């Protein structure tokens, strides 16, 4: 039996946004007032090795980490999120789809399989990603971090459970079959996102961005960067 729906993460899965995401966070964390140089008293310097802990957290979670690192960090969360969104939107024109993602999205679309996006990104970033990279016309809807309460963000299952609820509301023709969450595929590039998808009882695909990313016990399928994502996903979509 072929899978009945796909729920995609966005950053690092549909869109190669991780470099811009890291650039914006590092800039605003180190220079909260936008002076053009790091503020060593109130800012926070994010090092390359910190990203193993920050990957998949989204701007809300990273703000909490920054405040923990330096309680004197001066921006309120809303101010931090706005600064991040402004920086991101100013540079969003450079975004590109991740290689293989658009081909799989178009393949699923050709089969009439409904698709949506469930992201840890804030709403302006989500909308920019989908629009600039050309995915917006394939997604029935998108869920952002702004649609989910703080304690219910990934790795909590709620974001994907909310996505499944929206699918059932919008896809009346297959709503009965969509009661079986294992027939819905979630695609993620972080261990926290994979856990969220699996705890929602979906078929969880872990598409790693880097070979040395830690494995996830929650993944039903793991795809490394050197493997053929398109071929593997076609098998997942058409499999049992």
Q: What CATH number should be reported for the domain holding residue 213?
A: 3.40.50.1000
**Does the pLDDT value for residue 1 go beyond 60?**
no
Give the model confidence (pLDDT) of 187-216 as tens digits: 999 999 999 999 999 999 999 999 989 999
Clarify whether residues 143 and 202 are in a common domain.
Answer: yes
Same domain for 167 and 76, yes or no, is no
Instruction: Identify whether residues 143 and 126 lie together within a single domain.
Output: yes
Q: Of 44-48, 50-54, 135-139, which range is least confident?
A: 50-54
Q: Are 139 and 130 in contact (CB under 8 A)?
A: yes
Q: Determine contact, residues 192/1, Cβ cutoff 8 Å.
A: no
The answer to whether 233 touches 104, Cβ cutoff 8 Å, is yes
Boundary of a domain, candidates 93, 118, 141: 93
- Going by C-beta distance under 8 Å and a sequence separation of 6 or more, which residues neighbour residue 85? 122, 124, 125
Is the separation of the CB atoms in 139 and 116 below 8 Å? yes
Same structural domain, 10 and 125: yes
Examine residue 47 and say whether the peptide bond preceding it is cis (omega within 30 degrees of 0): no
Query: What pLDDT sits at residue 149?
Result: 85
pLDDT given for residue 175 in this prediction = 55
What pLDDT, on the 0 to 100 scale, is given for residue 97?
97
- pLDDT score of 179 more than 80: no
Stretch 125-137: mean pLDDT:
95
Out of 93, 110, 133, pick the residue that ends a domain.
Answer: 93
CA dihedral 168, 174, 176, 181 (to 10 degrees): -60
Cα 200 to Cα 127: distance, rounded to the nearest angstrom: 24
Q: What is the pLDDT of residue 25?
A: 96
Q: Both 52 and 10 in a single domain?
A: no
Q: State the Cα–Cα distance between residues 32 and 26, nearest whole angstrom.
A: 10
- pLDDT of 57 > 90? The answer is no
pLDDT of residue 176: 59
Asked whether residue 58 falls in the same domain as residue 137, the answer is: no
Domain extent, residue 147, equals 5-17+96-238
Same domain for 26 and 101?
Answer: no
Give me the mean pLDDT over the 70-86 stretch.
Answer: 95
Q: Are residues 100 and 207 in the same domain?
A: yes
Q: Do 73 and 34 belong to one domain?
A: yes
Instruction: Encode pLDDT of 89-99 as tens digits.
Output: 999 998 999 99
The residue out of 67, 93, 119 marking a domain boundary is 93
Residue 226 has pLDDT above 90, yes or no: yes
pTM comes to: 0.85
């Amino acid at each position: 039996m072929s899978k009945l729906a796909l729920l995609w993460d966005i950053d690092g899965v549909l869109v190669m946004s991780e470099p811009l995401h890291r650039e914006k966070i590092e800039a605003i964390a180190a220079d909260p007032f936008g002076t053009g140089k790091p503020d060593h008293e109130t800012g926070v310097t994010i090092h390359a090795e910190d990203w193993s802990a920050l990957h998949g957290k989204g701007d809300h979670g990273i703000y909490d980490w920054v405040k923990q690192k330096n309680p004197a960090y001066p921006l309120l969360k809303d101010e931090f999120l706005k600064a991040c969104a402004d920086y991101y939107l100013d540079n969003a024109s450079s975004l590109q789809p991740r290689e293989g993602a658009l081909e799989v999205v178009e393949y699923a679309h050709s089969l009439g399989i409904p698709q949506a996006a469930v992201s840890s990104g804030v709403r302006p970033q989500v909308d920019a990603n989908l629009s600039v990279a050309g995915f917006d016309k394939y997604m029935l809807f998108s869920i952002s971090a702004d649609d989910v309460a703080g304690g219910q963000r990934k790795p909590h299952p709620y974001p994907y459970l909310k996505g499944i609820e929206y699918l059932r509301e919008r896809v009346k023709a297959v709503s009965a079959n969509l009661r079986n969450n294992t027939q819905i595929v979630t695609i993620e590039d972080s261990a926290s996102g994979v856990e969220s998808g699996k705890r929602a009882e979906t078929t969880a695909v872990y598409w790693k961005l880097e070979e040395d990313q830690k494995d996830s016990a929650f993944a039903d399928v793991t795809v490394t960067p050197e493997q053929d994502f398109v071929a593997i996903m076609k098998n997942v979509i058409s499999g049992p």
